[in-house]
Amino acid sequence: MPPIPAEQVSPFDSENHPNHVTPFPHLTTNELAARWRCTVFTISAKYRSLGLRPIRVGKRLLFPIVQIEAAERRSMGAQ
């Protein structure tokens, strides 16, 4: 099979590709609910008021860990 031309290679396939995007740490709704010991419904209902701006991938919500840690710090400061 002939090699794939460089302009047709996905930037997500190879870490050596110049346009490679490094994955960011994130949690799914289920993972965040487990971390905060609450239900998925609670996360879905309150993430906006907590200052979280998830990334939607299909029907899934991915919450960047940076935003989660910031929300946790704000919560700890409020007590």
Q: Where are the domains of the chain?
A: 22-78
What is the percent of the chain with per-residue pLDDT over 70, rounded to a whole number?
70
From CA 67, how far away is CA 64, in angstroms rounded?
6
pLDDT at 72: 92
Give 35's pLDDT tier (boundaries 50, 70, 90).
very high
Q: pLDDT (tens digit, 9 = 90+) per residue, 38-53? A: 999 999 999 999 889 9
The yes-or-no verdict on residue 21 having pLDDT over 60 is no
Q: Is the pTM of this model over 0.75?
A: no
Burial 23-42 (b: 16+ CB within 10 A, else e): eeebbbbeebbeebeeeeee
- In terms of C-beta density within 10 A (0-12 exposed, 13-18 middle, 19 or more buried), how is residue 63 classed? buried
